[in-house]
Structure 1
Amino acid sequence: MEKMKKNKKSIIQENIIKVIKSGGVVVFPTDTVYGIGALPQKEPVAKIYKIKKRDFSKKIIALISDKKILKDLVQESCENMLKIDRILEKYWPGELTVIFRANKNFTHKFDAQMETIGIRIPKNKLALELIEKSGGILLTTSANISGKNAVSRISDLDLKIQRKSDAVVFDEKNENLTGKPSTIVKYEDGKLTLLRQGNILFEEIEKNFDC
């Protein structure tokens, strides 16, 4: 397993990117909690579930590096995408996950049963560089054994997660993670529904959506 600290010249070094591109699973900090992620491919995604001891019916989300990538991941009308764009512009990068109707040409690469997909852009330079250099998309979930608490400090990361992952990326001197998972909203038929409350209040999102 690779362990990589922050580097002054480049936050993410090339050997970590090679691990991901070769199908490896990597633990890394986001702006909320430590996540565990891999490329959107069947075997790496299955490995994430195995490491976490997670039921496959519980879906993971896509972290992306740029809003332009959305068109390849979602199946939605131009009208509805224009409608949600105000919210994405305000809260991305940030602690908001939006669940869209999935583009099955994308999700069938790793999960033939996946009808919707949660997406967000994290507000963390280290995470963004990792995602961008890996191709712009990483499928992720919190780096903890299923049923246990998510962690915001590398010292709290379960040793089983560390040992079974292919690499752990961390910045021990600058762990500015909030410790609270992102707010999750579902976007369906042009309407927003709250699924999980995080630091971004749903009432605030609704006001910006309706204005």
Structure 2
Amino acid sequence: MADIIPYSIENTDEIAARLKRGEVGIFPCDTIYGLCGIADERIAERLYEIKRRPLSKSFITLMDKSSLRDNGLIVPDDIFSRWPAPFTAILQHENGTTVAVRCPSDPYLLRILPVSGPIYSTSVNFSGEKSLLTFDDILPVFMNSVDFIVNDPSVKGGMASTIIDATSNPYRIIREGAYK
């Protein structure tokens, strides 16, 4: 059963430590609640299983802006200058793959990411179903699937991040969302 953790800037070190230990949790992620774990192949497998997501669909990687270019990502200057913001950019990696990345502006995440490192994030739902947007909706469905859930009573719904394909010229909007 998931530990319920109250939303507080004071508990960000605990959240980062739990993620670094390989735990999977649900917490507010800039735009809506996210199902999250450290960016690691073993954790990705667990996220796919929890979400019942096809392996062909990847996750968004949340990153601290200062570490973007240190991770082999090719980040166009006009994308880099817009972060932090609630939009996700599909970027080219120097190894030839593509990665969906978001540099969040949420103060909670901005305290977690420098300690935890990159985090995989996805909407809180089973693949193909409607996203669960509030703690009260999330708890009964996922309480036995994750290690912890952060309860932020101020999150009453929201809109997912905008997704932009920055590997094409001109850029292509994949999903309209919170960033305008």
TM-score category of the 2 structures, normalised to the smaller one: 0.7 to 0.9
1:69 aligns with 2:70: no
Larger radius of gyration: 1
Count residues in correspondence.
179
Displacement, 1:189?
Answer: 5.5
Displacement, 1:63?
Answer: 0.4
Partner of 1:157, secondary structure, is helix
After superposition, the Cα gap between the structure-2 partners of 1:149 and 1:86, relative to the gap in structure 1 and judged at 3 Å, is same
1:46 aligns with 2:59: no
Specify the alignment match of 2:114 in structure 1: 132
What do residues 86-121 of structure 1 show as CA deviations (whole Å, max 9, x unaligned)?
34323x2221100011244xxxxxxxxx92101111
Distance, in Å, in 2 between the alignment partners of 1:150 and 1:132 is 27
Specify the alignment match of 1:97 in structure 2: 88
Between Structure 1 and Structure 2, the one with more strand by share is: 2
Q: Extract unaligned runs of 5+ from structure 1.
A: 105-113, 202-211
Contact 1:28–1:168 (Cα < 8 Å) also in 2: yes
Normalising by structure 1, report the TM-score: 0.75
Contact 1:61–1:141 (Cα < 8 Å) also in 2: yes
Partner of 1:45, secondary structure, is helix
After superposition, the Cα gap between the structure-2 partners of 1:164 and 1:187, relative to the gap in structure 1 and judged at 3 Å, is same
Q: CA RMSD in A?
A: 2.2
Specify the alignment match of 2:177 in structure 1: 198
Normalising by structure 2, report the TM-score: 0.87
Specify the alignment match of 1:28 in structure 2: 27
* One-letter code aligned to 2:104: P
Specify the alignment match of 1:58 in structure 2: 57
Q: Extract unaligned runs of 5+ from structure 2.
A: none
Between Structure 1 and Structure 2, the one with more helix by share is: 1
Contact 2:22–2:37 (Cα < 8 Å) also in 1: yes
1:88 aligns with 2:80: yes
Partner of 1:175, secondary structure, is coil
After superposition, the Cα gap between the structure-2 partners of 1:58 and 1:32, relative to the gap in structure 1 and judged at 3 Å, is same
Percent identity reads 27
Q: 1:175 aligns with which of 155, 160, 169?
A: 155
Distance, in Å, in 2 between the alignment partners of 1:187 and 1:163 is 37
Distance, in Å, in 2 between the alignment partners of 1:53 and 1:181 is 19
Q: 1:119 aligns with which of 101, 122, 140?
A: 101
